[in-house]
Structure 1
């Protein structure tokens, strides 16, 4: 079996090294249909001269490793080495099975592994699917709550015997479910249901993608907000030189007048789909590109992992936008506005950073930090919300980009 391949560890730090390797193995293989065991470790001892000259230290290391292995329930083999007199040193340590591995690791690593295996067992038992299928679904929905996994099982049973073709997700008669539980933002749940039911698609009738915008140019600010569901571009007589995409509604509504300006409400991750309704943006920003990205189109979102992933997605969609207050320098200036709580009061979780090829070094450094993977460890706050940053500060930066911001209320108050 793959798990039996020997791994070398230095004798002086063998218990710690074995624990770290086993923890990594459990994390990587917790969603395997059948994790491979055992894990065997070869203990590396120093050369004969060092063993002899430092015999008391190596006797102690051998006794420590022996006692640790016995306490954890690990199997060991011995080999004879000369340390003044012949001594039986531990040659290999074997973690024979899952139960032993969990004792070795303990703590959060063991809890995460048990959670994954419990979910695989639950899906297999409740829905009668193979462990391979259960493993794949459980891995896909790793970040879903236990409540959502229970709802998934109920939904899979429903769709296995009912046809919801032509309905919108909110019209499906699933008792006890939020109307938003199967929205397009939860595509992984839909895919998981299809996998569990053996279907290619749930054949929903989707709501059209929607995007909200408002004019910032004072000549048009009395006009109502625009809501578009089809590809749109401004009329020839309306010059659009500056476009700002903002993540949150308060900032969208509060943006000051900008001559030849347009404000787009990204509405969080919804912009990843709705940006396609403005196909001219990619070409438009090419006209005024400076530095790395054109100042003509600006994206301003939260300083958190989601916000920076959205920024990367917008750029990958072809919009070469400059970010506003979304790099490590901005975090240093505004981190005291930060939070570690979601709107409902639950903690914001750390995550593994994704590939974000369009982020510049300052943005990428911030992204890794707010994922909890920065070189200095977890920051004080994992989120600095866009709305907390004073608009007067945004005006100063936009003007430095060449934007024609006019009659700003905060300037008038000073």
Structure 2
């Protein structure tokens, strides 16, 4: 016997699983006969079941008698020898998605998504079947945001090679903040509008816009090298310009965090590259790193080792600095919590000892979600380790 509450639970799952498919089919063919009407059998008990639980059956019948909602409730009669003729709810018929949406409290979202889907497909028929994947966009964008999206698609379609920066677009409200989180959506829709559904999803390439230059920041720690650069010691420049530098360096330190790099003192023949995070791919675009002794110093947590593994894809001889168990255990009082550890169980480019420490952090053998941020390490301890490497080199 299914109660209204149980039917609500069933329809909630159904809506979550099928609402995108329903949206596409509903717009294209109104109420598709393969889906609708949706019939839910309410599980009428047998006479023996009714005799075993008369109060339960009575409560079930009353629940449906008092029910008010979308759909058609079909009643039937049962002629039972012991209980006589009883009128019971047999099944619920739902004529379309709108009925299901009413049941699960999604009526306003469904109606809004349906209207917006229809409007987009009417304007750009090629988007039929594509925008159904973005039900939440259709259902939840404010009217202002949805209008901006249409204006963005329209303007880019009319000016596919503007070579403007995004903030130069003559579209009210389309700024960096608005674009954050929407680039993938815009790029995919434009790929279909430009009849290139299998093509690049790079936002700037797809929109014909100019990306902001990728800046790299480094410090020149050797005073003699600084003279070659007109006295510049702290440089932030586009990657292409950094790549073209001719630096006679012998040691390169790559640190995960900015303040760590700023704390470095003078070191002959050395530079420090700062704050790349996971963007260590750029190291592969610096030809002058070849044959240099390079050291990576990141946070002692799973993501620190993941960045190290990624960096070694470009610098196979990259050495680590203070990313060992001794450093970790000797700074236990300064441990923090890594709230979202890296997902991989193994990383491809770690040494045996690094992999063992990574697994210990990943599996909480040392403590629960342990991390040691590099800035927390005593600077006397850290600088001494840096000097020792420099002397050894």
TM-score, normalised relative to structure 2: 0.57
Q: Is the 8 A contact 1:38 1:96 kept in 2?
A: yes
| CA apart distance, 1:277 | 0.4
Instruction: State the distance in 2 between where 1:316 and 1:394 align.
Output: 15
Q: Which ranges in structure 1 are unaligned for 5 or more consecutive residues?
A: 1-9, 246-251, 285-293, 301-307, 331-355, 365-392, 407-414
* Structure-2 residue corresponding to 1:155: 152
Matches within 5 A, 1:12-23: 14-23=3-12
Alignment of 1:217-296 (within 5 A): 223-230=233-240, 237-240=250-253, 243-245=255-257, 252=258, 257=263, 262=272, 264-265=274-275, 274-279=279-284, 296=297
Structure 2 unmatched runs, 5+: 27-34, 200-204, 227-231, 290-294, 313-319, 324-334, 346-357, 363-371, 385-393
Which one of 182, 185, 189 corresponds to residue 186 of structure 2?
Answer: 189
Give the secondary-structure state (helix, strand or coil) at the position aligned to 1:277. helix
Q: TM-score scaled to structure 1, two decimals?
A: 0.55
Give the 3-state SS of the residue equivalent to 1:225 in structure 2.
Answer: strand
RMSD of the TM alignment (CA)?
5.1
- The match for 1:174 is 170
Q: Is the 8 A contact 2:221 2:272 kept in 1?
A: yes
Q: 1:130 to 1:60 in 2, by over 3 A?
A: same
**Distance in 2 (alpha carbons) for counterparts of 1:82 and 1:173:** 75
Q: What are the Cα deviations for residues 124-144 of structure 1, in whole angstroms up to 9, with x where unaligned? A: 244455642443465677775
Distance change (3 Å), C-alpha of 1:264 and 1:116: farther
Check 1:83–1:214 CA distance in 2 against 1; reply closer, same or farther (3 A cut): farther
In the alignment, which residue of structure 1 is the partner of 2:41?
42
- Partner residue of 1:113 out of 100, 110, 113: 110
Shift of the alpha carbon at 1:317? 8.5
Deviation at 1:18, TM superposition (A): 1.5
Residue aligning to 1:249: none
Structure 1 residues 237-267: Cα deviation after superposition (integer angstroms, max 9, x where no partner): 1242x6214xxxxxx358762588956335x
2:382 counterpart of 1:404:
yes
Partner residue in 2 for 1:213: 217
* Distance 1:125-1:43 versus aligned 2 partners, 3 A rule: same
The equivalent of 1:388 in structure 2 is none
**2:181 and 2:8 mapped to 1: Cα distance?**
41
How many pairs are equivalent? 305
CA distance in 1, matches of 2:193, 2:54: 60
Q: CA separation of 1:44/1:168 partners in 2, compared to 1, >3 Å: closer, same or farther?
A: same
- Cα 1:175/1:228, change in 2 over 3 Å: closer
Q: Are residues 277 and 328 of structure 1, via their aligned partners in 2, closer, same or farther at CA, if it must alter by over 3 Å?
A: closer
SS at match of 1:124: helix
Per-residue deviation at 1:33? 0.5
Structure 1 residues 88 and 317, CA gap change in structure 2 (3 angstroms): farther
Residue in structure 2 matched with residue 122 of structure 1 by the alignment: 119
Question: Any conservation in 2 of the 1:37–1:96 contact (CA below 8 Å)?
Answer: yes
The one-character-per-residue Cα deviations of 1:114-162 (angstroms, maximum 9, x if unpaired) are 33223212312444556424434656777755423212222333344x3
Superposed displacement of residue 362, structure 1: 12
Q: Is the 8 A contact 1:329 1:362 kept in 2?
A: no
Residue 33 of structure 1: SS of its match in structure 2? helix
Distance 1:277 1:256, change over 3 A: closer
Q: Does 1:67 align with 2:66?
A: yes
Q: What is the CA–CA distance in structure 1 between the aligned matches of 2:360 and 2:18, rounded to whole Å?
A: 33
Correspondence for 2:16:
27
CA deviations 1:67-97 (Å, max 9, x no partner) are 32x5433332536374841434333222222
